[in-house]
Amino acid sequence: NAGVTQTPKFQVLKTGQSMTLQCAQDMNHNSMYWYRQDPGMGLRLIYYSASEGTTDKGEVPNGYNVSRLNKREFSLRLESAAPSQTSVYFCASTEGWGEAFFGQGTRLTVV
């Protein structure tokens, strides 16, 4: 099984550009999440989707939007990238009280 797949793995954006980070899981999980990881700050939740058709804000949602396209896919969009959004982004999925599975991450640099 592929588990959780994120694309792209690396991206460089100019300030003000937009982009969408893609995430897909093949484990039939109901819940999906987007986290960002910054040095010394652990992983912070940006948005989550408890089930298909629902999305909610996490701890740091400003500057981001999400779409739960179907049960498998959960995308994160930066409408107007800022240097403060330079980070490593992780997508994760869970089912009930089961283990959270993470993708390999997208390393984003905004210049």
Partner 1 sequence: GENVEQHPSTLSVQEGDSAVIKCTYSDSASNYFPWYKQELGKGPQLIIDIRSNVGEKKDQRIAVTLNKTAKHFSLHITETQPEDSAVYFCAASNTGFQKLVFGTGTRLLVSP
Neighbours of 17 (CB within 10 A): 14
Which amino acid type is present at position 5? T
Lay out the sheet containing 64-68: strands in order across: 4-7, 19-25, 74-78, 64-68
Q: Which is nearer to partner 1, 44 or 71 (CB)?
A: 44
Binding mask 43-62 for partner 1 (x = CB under 8 A): xxx--x-xx------xx---
User: What span, in angstroms and rounded, lies between the C-alpha atoms of 61 and 57?
Assistant: 6
CB of 80 to partner 1, least distance (A): 27
DSSP 3: -
Closer residue to partner 1 (CB): 48 or 74 = 48
Question: CA 18, CA 98: separation in Å to the nearest integer?
Answer: 34
The 72-111 site mask, x for binding partner 1 (CB under 8 A), equals ------------------x-x-x-xx-xx-xxxx------
User: In this chain, which stretch among 17-25, 28-36, 60-68, 75-83 interacts with partner 1, using CB under 8 A?
Assistant: 28-36
Rounded CA-CA distance 99/27 in Å is 11
Q: Which residues bind partner 1 (CB under 8 A)?
A: 4, 30-31, 33, 35, 40-45, 48, 50-51, 58-59, 90, 92, 94, 96-97, 99-100, 102-105
